[in-house]
Structure 1
Amino acid sequence: MRKREDYEEENSEMEEDEALDESVLEKSPEGMTLLDIPGIGAATAEKLINAGYRNMMSIAVATPGELMEVAGLTELAAKKAINYARDKLKMSFESADEVLKKREKIEKIKTPSEELNKLMGGGFETCAITEAFGEFGSGKTQLANVLSVYVQKLNPDYNVVYIDTESTFRPERIVQIAKAAGLEPERVLKNIKVARAYNSDHQMILAEKVEELIEKNNLPVKLIVVDSLTAHFRAEFIGRGTLADRQQKLNKHMHTLMRIADKYNLAVFVTNQVMAKPDIFFGDPTQAIGGHIVAHASTYRLYLRKGKKGSRVAKLVDSPNLPEGEAVFYVDENGIRDK
Structure 2
Amino acid sequence: KMSSKPLSSLKIPRNILEKLHHHSIYKIQDLITKAPMELVKLLSIPLQKVQLIFDTCFENLAFDPTNALDLIKKNPVEEKLPNDNFDKLICEIGILRRGLLSEVCGPPGVGKTQFLTQLCITNSLIYPESSTIYIDTENNFSSKRFLEIASEKFLTKEKSEEDLIKMTKNIFVFKKFTISEFEEILRFIECEIITRNSSLLIIDSLASIVRREYSGSDSSILNERSLFLSKCSSKLKAMAEYLEVSVKIFSKFKTYVQLKFS
Which interval holds the TM-score relative to the shorter structure? 0.5 to 0.7
1:161 lines up with 2:139 in the alignment: no
Which structure is higher in strand share? 1
Alpha-carbon distance in 1 for matches of 2:212, 2:24: 46
Letter in 1 for 2:128: P
Q: 2:179 and 2:54 mapped to 1: Cα distance?
A: 23
Q: Within 5 A, what are the aligned runs for 1:53-202?
A: 112=86, 114-115=88-89, 118=92, 121-182=93-154, 183=159, 184-202=163-181
* Distance apart, 1:204 and its partner CA: 2.6
- Residue in 1 aligned with 2:217? 239
Give the Cα separation in 2 of the matches to 1:235 and 1:34.
35
- Cα distance in 1 for partners of 2:177, 2:94 equals 35
- Which SS does the other structure have where 1:268 is aligned? strand
Q: Following TM superposition, by how much is the alpha carbon of 1:257 offset from its aligned partner in structure 2, in angstroms?
A: 1.4
Q: Which amino acid aligns with 1:221?
A: S
Counting matched residue pairs gives: 193
Which runs of 5 or more structure 1 residues have no equivalent in the other structure?
1-12, 19-23, 26-32, 54-110, 283-339
Call closer, same or farther: CA 1:203–1:38 in 2, change over 3 Å.
closer
Aligned to 1:212: 191
Q: Per residue, is there more helix in 1 or in 2?
A: 2
Q: State the shift of 1:34 in Å.
A: 3.2
Aligned partners of 2:188 and 2:104: how far apart in 1? Answer: 23
Shift of 1:165: 0.7
* TM-score, with structure 1 as normaliser: 0.49
Tell me the distance in 1 between the aligned counterparts of 2:88 and 2:36: 49
| TM-superposed deviation, 1:35 | 3.9
Q: CA deviation at 1:131?
A: 0.6
1:150, distance to aligned residue in structure 2 (A):
0.9
Quick one: structure 1 residues 49 and 117, their matched pair in 2 at CA, closer, same or farther if it must change by over 3 Å? same
Measured in 2, the distance between the counterparts of 1:149 and 1:117 equals: 13
Maintained 8 Å contact 2:108/2:254: no
The 1:147/1:116 distance shift into structure 2, 3 A limit, reads: closer
Higher relative contact order (CA 8 A, sep 6+): 2
RMSD across aligned positions (CA): 3.7
Question: How much has 1:49 moved relative to structure 2?
Answer: 5.7
* Counterpart secondary structure, 1:222: strand
Partner residue, 2:82: none
1:274-326 CA-partner distances (Å, limit 9, x unpaired): 0336xx757xxxxxxxxxxxxxxxxxxxxxxxxxxxxxxxxxxxxxxxxxxxx
Say whether the 8 Å CA contact 1:34–1:40 is kept in structure 2: no
Whether the 8 Å CA contact 1:135–1:274 is kept in 2: the answer is yes
Q: 1:228 — aligned with what?
A: 205
Unaligned runs of 5+ in 2: 1-19, 26-30, 45-49, 59-84
